């Protein structure tokens, strides 16, 4: 049996990756990334800043199945509401990256 060890930090960044595909028309979303996130566990959060909406969105990682991550919308700081992680853009109008952090 494998032993899984998760380091509990203080809201520091674990990894940053860019979503490539999302499925689901509302939360929760099944998301795949260009590079599989490293060190991310169920219960961590993904924070995505959308420059076009001027909002920062927070998603909870609720499941990991191979390279598919289930992200459940938690909140945003501009009252934009539930928005797909693949519909968020950086300052160059490319796909915005997700920064994963410990949330527990």
For 76-104, the pLDDT digits (tens) are: 998 888 999 999 999 899 999 999 999 86
The answer to whether the CB of 27 falls within 8 A of the CB of 72 is yes
pLDDT of 10: 55
pLDDT of 4: 57
List pLDDT tens digits, range 33-65: 999 999 999 999 999 999 988 999 999 999 999
**pTM for this one?**
0.85
Sheet of 55-65: strand order equals: 13-17, 98-101, 45-50, 55-65, 68-76, 29-33, 19-23
DSSP conformational letter for 28: S
């Amino acid at each position: 049996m494998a032993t899984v060890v998760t380091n509990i930090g203080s809201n520091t960044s674990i990894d940053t990756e860019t979503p490539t595909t999302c499925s689901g028309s509302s939360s929760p979303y099944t998301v795949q990334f260009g590079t599989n996130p490293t060190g991310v566990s169920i219960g961590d959060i993904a924070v995505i800043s959308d420059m076009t909406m001027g909002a920062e969105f927070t998603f909870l990682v609720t499941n990991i199945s191979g390279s598919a991550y289930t992200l459940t919308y938690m909140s945003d700081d501009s009252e934009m509401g539930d928005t797909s992680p693949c519909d968020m853009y950086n300052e160059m109008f490319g796909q915005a990256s997700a920064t994963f952090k410990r949330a527990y």
